[in-house]
Structure formats: C-alpha cells, structure tokens
Amino acid sequence: MSDTVIRMEKLCRFYAMGKEQVRALDTISLTFRRNEYVAIMGPSGSGKSTLMNIIGCLDTPSSGRYELNGKNVADMDDDELARIRNREIGFVFQTFNLLPRLNCIRNVELPLIYAGIGPEERSERALKVLDMVGLGDRVSHKPSELSGGQIQRVAIARALVNNPSLILADEPTGNLDTTTSGEIMGIFDDLSAAGNTIVLITHEEDIARHTRRIIRLRDGKVESDTGNRIS
C-alpha cells in the first residue's frame, strides 16, 4: 500500500465573477502521507476553504490533478464520490452539523447507515468511538443536553466511526473557548499519535502549533510549507 494519501499536481480552481475570472487556487502541488498531522493556514480569501472543499471531494478543480489513495478524483462518478466522502474522509466542522433530534449514538451511527452497516455493528462501533473521545456516559444525550466541547467530541466520533483514510477538520475549535479548544486539540493529538492522517484548516496560530507541518496559503498559492518545530 502506498504511503501517499493525497497527491495534488498543479491544481487550479477558477470562479467566474461577472466578466472576471477569480483564481481561488493557482497551481497548487502538495503531497500528504499517511500519519501526517497538517495545518493549512491563510488569511480570508487565501484559498484555504476552496482547497478544503477539493480535498474533501466537495468540489472539483478547474485544472490539474487530485489523487486520493492513488485514484484520480476526476475519474470518479457521483456515486463513487459519495462513497469516498462517506468512507474515506471523516469531516469535522466548526458548526458541528449534528442532527438535534438524534442522541449521540444515533448521530455517530449516521455514516454507518449510509454505508449499509447492520444495526448491531453500528451500535458497537459508535459506542467504541464515543468512549474513545470520553463520552461513553453521554450516549443517550441529545446535542441540546451537551456543552459545546462535548458536541464537538460527538462530531469527532462521527468522523472516526468509518475508520477513514483522512480526518479533515475545518476550524474545529472556532466556536469553543480556550480551555475547551485545548481539550479538543488534545483529542486530535492523540488521534495523530495513534496513526491517523489529519488535515486541519485553521486561522489560529496556537491551534496550528499542535501539528507537525504548517502550509500557509496566500492569493491561491502556497506561500510556505514547513515542518513545525514549535510543538
């Protein structure tokens, strides 16, 4: 099995804005290996959200090549892209994106339902990851009965439940206070130490310092790509 999870070659993403063409991404070439812990940073308009959407197979490049686990994403049809998003990528969002009427275990089970996993195995796997993030005693609680940090832990458990190749986290501490942010980043640190591949989108330097590699974007280009020796 190849050590490379993501390979991007001269990736571009253009948008039409009236009569103008905006280059959101401009000839990006990056490679992410298994067990990498990476932060992608940049000011507003730098292209980091566009890059995240392409990495997560939520958008497609205008030109260039994007390979996920050795497969060219451009060759995939809608069904295959949906399968990749469900099984290969675990998403963690700033706004959590939990269903308010479902309790913790049912929220975590959702990717397994889409994957066609039976009820007994779904429950077993959901309980395992909820316990992993420290919520084994909150499985029957609904989001409204949890703190912001606990809700984000549920979202992380949901991202983990399909054992994805990649965890993609978009500003995962953006709605949390400093203490809770530290607790959430402690979970990501543990996940990285356990061998998970994590790509973190953030504008916060203290959050990025948890990672082992920081990629900075500016005007759709890679401004710098360095190993992180601070953490």
Residue 173 counted as domain residue: yes
CATH number of the domain that residue 139 is part of: 3.40.50.300
Residue 83 counted as domain residue: yes
What are the φ and ψ backbone dihedral angles of 141, each rounded to 5 degrees?
-80, 145
The structural domain count of the chain equals 1
Range of the domain at 59: 34-63+76-227
| Strands in the chain per DSSP E | 4-17, 20-33, 37-41, 63-68, 71-72, 89-93, 166-170, 198-201, 213-218, 221-227
Residue 17 counted as domain residue: no
Taken in order 53, 56, 62, 64, is the CA torsion positive or negative? positive
Question: What is the average pLDDT across 215-219?
Answer: 93
pLDDT digits (tens, 9 = 90+) for 146-157: 998 999 899 999
* pLDDT value of residue 217: 94
Provide the phi-psi class of 160: left if phi over 0, else alpha when psi is between -120 and 50, else beta. Answer: alpha
Residue 68 counted as domain residue: no
pLDDT digits (tens, 9 = 90+) for 39-93: 999 988 889 989 999 999 988 899 999 999 999 998 999 888 988 888 889 999 8
| CA-only gyration radius of the chain, Å | 18
Provide the phi-psi class of 75: left if phi over 0, else alpha when psi is between -120 and 50, else beta. Answer: alpha
Residue 106 counted as domain residue: yes
